[in-house]
Amino acid sequence: MTRSTILTIEHISKAFFGVPAVRDVSIDVKEGEILGLIGQNGAGKSTLMNLVGGVVHPDAGSMTFRGKPYAPRRPADANDAGIGFIHQELNLFTNMTIAENVFISGFPRTGFGPFKFIDRAAMKARTRELLDQVGLDTPPDFQIERMSPGERQLVEIAKALYMDASLIIFDEPTTSLTARETEQLFNIMLRLREQGKSMIYISHILNDVLRLADSIAVMRDGQLVTQEARDAFDTRRMISLMVGRSIEQLYPTRTSAPTTTPLLELKGISAAGIVEKVNLTVHRGELVGLFGLMGSGRTELARMIFGLDRTEQGEIRVAGEALKGSSARDSIRSKIAFVTENRREEGLLMNIAIADNVTLVALPEFARTALQILDAGAMREAAREASQALQLKAADISVQPAKSLSGGNQQKVVIAKWLLSQPEVFIMDEPTRGIDVGAKYEIYAIMDRLAAAGSGVLFISSELEELMGTCDRILVMSQGEIVAQFAREAFSDEAILRAAFREHAPLHPHSGETEQSS
């Protein structure tokens, strides 16, 4: 069966500040098909889709949509042309109702001249129809604020349907959805395909892509590796195309062995509705992975260990001593470092010079005199040493602001600033998110060096492969509990994933059929 092409992308390129993000990519999408778009973080998928969505403009190349040249200047142009874009972070106004969100760029109105009022009845009726199409039975004047991430996603789809989009782009839509919500989303996507709509589906979950897509495009380092029919792929081929080399080389070899001296100990940490009786030990010289799906409570637990959020029960010990107080300040004193998932918002001060960022945490160390005046010379020297140790690629660390660095080098700045205060426990929450393969390797090597020097590292990630490639031990978290742990010899992606996905398996062995037997 030959279908006509709805979107053609030809030789498109885009660079940010001289760094190419998309290079000479040509892809086409057929009518009524789902195109799976895969690639590692930083491979250029999102940039490519932002080009299609009119969020950024190409440096070179052209696009054709529905037989006409297509060059969106603004996101609104994409909408008008019939391209709906469902971003990873949703674009809903949480302070408003579903109906208002659907119609925000153009309300149905009645009245004359300047006296045009919103036709609320028409707006609600139309929204009702759209919500029925996506299988959401919430009233149209329900506030977005009170809806779950999955329901919000459905509202986004309803919005795209309202725009009469014939091509809908989904950028990692399932990252914040539960299993049931994901299933519902897939059903709707399949139904839309039956209605002849085209879709581009971006996801890191390769099995989902295999399940939904009719054809698959693989990107690597800003370039298209291949675009072929779905049947030409299996997970193994997808990974090797994405990575471009065999998986073993992605991770440095561990250069040291963990000791048996406990360094960080969590005993029965609980907070109602968030985490439940978490016990966890990180030994000196050990690299412990903490795996869990989105919303499993990993980040929340990390924040509790570092004293950013309160725990209700339990005890945290560092090197045998109970953590006094519960603030980040106390944690820093107890030699805990926290490298956050979101370096842009939490870890780094973007407009401040790199050197100033590096010396931030250890600032009290440089204010030794009675008047607390900072020793600028010592600070400069220390910042230079730390950035050299991490092979930071920057022209001049004392003037260049942090935002001028690439993601990988930004993450190194975050690590460098902690290194200065000589911590023993490193909590790394998704430290490699959004940075390229080479920089990832360097971050892994830094973690290995930290462990070899006797520190303990708790490495939180939702990319199982990187944990398996780097850690001595992996703990699995699900619904706020540690549900399993695996020693390096017992690493198996299947077993670990099964543990993380326990919502598919019977949760409580004593419920259901076993109850009758008792």
Contacts with another protein, residue ranges (CB under 8 A): 55, 74-76, 79, 87, 91-96, 100, 104-107, 109, 116-118, 120, 145, 272-276, 295-297, 300, 479-481
Tokens linked to 136: 């959401």
CB of 166 to another protein, least distance (A): 18
Nearer to another protein, 145 or 315 (CB): 145
Q: How far apart are CA 121 and CA 100, in angstroms?
A: 12
Amino acid at 495: A
Least distance (Å) from another protein to the CB of residue 297?
5
Pairing of strands 60-65, 68-69: antiparallel
Nearer to another protein, 76 or 352 (CB): 76
- Shorter beta-carbon distance to another protein: residue 275 or 336: 275
Residue ranges in 24-142 assigned as alpha helix (H):
45-52, 75-81, 98-103, 120-133
Q: Which is nearer to another protein, 152 or 254 (by Cβ)? A: 152
Q: How far is the CB of 276 from another protein (least distance, A)?
A: 6
Between CA 394 and CA 510 the distance in angstroms is: 58
Strands 336-339 and 425-429: parallel
Contact status, residue 470 vs residue 250, Cβ threshold 8 Å? no
- Beta carbon of residue 318, minimum distance to another protein (angstroms, whole number): 25
CA atoms lying within 13 Å on the CB side of residue 457: 35
Distance CA 106, CA 100 (A): 10
- Residue 69's region, left for phi above 0, alpha for psi from -120 to 50, else beta, is beta
Helices within 421-492 (DSSP H only): 437-452, 464-470
Token pair of 500 as six digits: 């993380």
Q: At what angle do helices 149-162 and 120-133 cross, to 10 degrees?
A: 110
Tokens of 220: 């690597």
Question: According to the 3-state scheme, what is the secondary structure of 26-58?
Answer: EEEEECCCEEEEEECCCCCHHHHHHHHCCCCCC
* 325 backbone φψ class: left, alpha, beta (φ>0; ψ -120 to 50): left
Q: How far is the CB of 116 from another protein (least distance, A)?
A: 7
Give least dist CB 293 to another protein, A.
11
Considering the complex, state which of residue 231 and residue 312 has its C-beta at the smaller distance from another protein: 312
Structure tokens at 150: 């999955």
Where b means 16+ CB within 10 Å and e means fewer, 72-109 reads: beebeebbebbbbbbbeebebeeeebbbbbbbeeebee
Shortest distance (Å) from residue 269 CB to another protein: 14
